[in-house]
Amino acid sequence: MFEIQYPPPDERVILAGLFTPDMDKTLFEEDMQEMVQLCRTAGAEVVDVVVQKRDRPVASTYMGTGKLEEFGRMMRAKNCKALVIDAELSAGQVRTIEKVISGKVVDRSQLILDIFAQHARTNEARVQVELAQLRTLYPRLTGAWTHFSQQVGGIGTRGPGEKQLEVDRRLVQKKIYDLRQKLKRVERSRQTQRKSRESMFAVALVGYTNVGKSSLLNALCGCDVLVENKLFATLDTASRRTYVAEAGTVVISDTVGFIRKLPHQLVASFMSTLGIVAQADLLLVVLDASSAWHGYQLDTTHEVLKELGADHIPQLLVLNKGDLLVDAFARKQLEIAYPGCMCVSAFCEDDMRRLKQRIAALMREVRREKAIDDIVAQKTRAILSE
Ligand SMILES: Nc1nc2c(ncn2[C@@H]2O[C@H](COP(=O)(O)OP(=O)(O)OP(=O)(O)O)[C@@H](O)[C@H]2O)c(=O)[nH]1
Ligand SMILES: [Mg+2]
261 Cβ neighbours under 8 A, 6+ residues apart: 88, 108, 109
Strands across the sheet containing 238-244: 238-244, 248-254, 201-207, 282-288, 315-320, 342-343
Q: Give the best-scoring range by mean pLDDT among 120-134, 148-162, 167-181, 335-349.
A: 335-349
End-to-end CA distance of the chain: 65
pLDDT above 60 (res 158): no
Of 7-21, 39-53, 158-172, 255-269, the range with the lowest mean pLDDT is 158-172
* Residue 160, pLDDT score: 44
**C-beta 346 within 6 A of ligand 1:** yes
- Please state, in angstroms and rounded to a whole number, the distance separating the CA atoms of residues 239 and 272: 14
Q: How far is the CA of 326 from the centre of ligand 1 (A)?
A: 18
Closest atom of ligand 1 relative to the 235 alpha carbon? 23
**C-beta 323 within 6 A of ligand 1:** yes
* Residue 140, pLDDT score: 67
Q: How far is the CA of 215 from the centre of ligand 2 (A)?
A: 7
Four-point Cα dihedral 347, 353, 354, 357, nearest 10: 140
CA separation, residue 354 to residues 5, 97, 138, 223, 280 (Å): 31, 54, 49, 19, 21
Predicted confidence band of residue 195 (pLDDT cuts 50, 70, 90): low
* Residue 4, pLDDT score: 63
What pLDDT digit, counting tens, does each position of 207-243 carry?
A: 999 999 999 999 999 999 989 888 888 888 899 999 9
Closest atom of ligand 1 relative to the 348 alpha carbon? 31
Phi, psi of 62 (to 5 degrees): 65, -55
Task: Compute the mean pLDDT over every residue in the chain, rounded to the nearest whole number.
Answer: 86
pLDDT above 80 (res 112): yes
What pLDDT digit, counting tens, does each position of 316-335 carry?
A: 999 999 999 988 899 999 99
Closest atom of ligand 1 relative to the 207 alpha carbon? 19
* Residue 165, pLDDT score: 59
Mean pLDDT (whole number) for 163-172: 69
- Please state, in angstroms and rounded to a whole number, the distance separating the CA atoms of residues 284 and 205: 5
Ligand that lies nearest to the alpha carbon of residue 218, given by its number in the listed order: 1
327/19: higher pLDDT: 19
Backbone torsion region of residue 24, taken as left when φ is above 0, otherwise alpha when ψ lies between -120 and 50, otherwise beta: beta
User: Which protein residue has the closest C-alpha to ligand 1 atom 4?
Assistant: 321
Phi, psi of 191 (to 5 degrees): -65, -35
Q: How far is the CA of 382 from the centre of ligand 2 (A)?
A: 46
Mean pLDDT (whole number) for 59-69: 96
pLDDT above 70 (res 145): no
CB 248 within 8 A of CB 221: no
What pLDDT digit, counting tens, does each position of 371-386 carry?
A: 888 888 888 888 888 7
**β-pair type (104-107, 82-85):** parallel
**C-beta 211 within 6 A of ligand 1:** yes
Mean pLDDT (whole number) for 54-69: 96
Q: How far is the CA of 1 from the centre of ligand 1 (A)?
A: 12
* Residue 63, pLDDT score: 97
pTM for the complete prediction?
A: 0.84
196/334: higher pLDDT: 334
